[in-house]
């Protein structure tokens, strides 16, 4: 059974940083591209960043230069700097093509 577990969220002030971690099971993590997504209240889930097995990286325009995605063969990470109010959302990790269930996500609230 494929599962994704996100961790690292919290309540921060604008300009602060957070680091997320994603653990997965049910497949060989190092063999698959991975991505971070987020969903703000009342909005559709959106792609934040993706990283392939060859470390090819893509970012949403809204986070480029502030967020850094990385991975090893067992986990994926998202370093988020200069957080803004609009980054408030639940963040999820998943394989880009995966149509299975989402994990519980990790909440980020950016508030002054």
Token pair for 74: 């067992």
The closest alpha carbon to 32, from 99, 94, 100, belongs to: 94
Q: What pLDDT, on the 0 to 100 scale, is given for residue 81?
A: 98
pLDDT (tens digit, 9 = 90+) per residue, 22-39? 999 999 999 999 999 999
At residue 85's C-alpha, the angle toward residues 35 and 50, to 5°, is 10
Q: What pLDDT, on the 0 to 100 scale, is given for residue 97?
A: 86
pLDDT surpasses 90 at 47: yes
The closest alpha carbon to 31, from 78, 74, 92, belongs to: 74
Task: Locate the DSSP E strands across the chain.
Answer: 3-7, 10-12, 18-25, 34-39, 46-51, 57-59, 67-71, 75-80, 89-94, 106-110
pLDDT surpasses 90 at 82: yes
């Amino acid at each position: 059974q494929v599962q994704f577990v996100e961790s690292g969220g919290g309540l921060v002030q604008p300009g602060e940083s957070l680091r997320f971690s994603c653990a997965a099971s049910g497949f060989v993590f190092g063999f698959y591209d991975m991505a971070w997504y987020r969903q703000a209240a009342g909005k559709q889930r959106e792609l934040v960043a993706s990283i392939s097995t060859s470390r090819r990286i893509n970012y949403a325009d809204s986070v480029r230069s502030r967020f850094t995605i990385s991975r090893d063969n067992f986990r994926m990470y998202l370093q988020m700097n200069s957080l803004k109010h609009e980054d408030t959302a639940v963040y999820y990790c998943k394989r880009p093509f995966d149509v299975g269930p989402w994990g519980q996500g990790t909440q980020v609230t950016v508030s002054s």
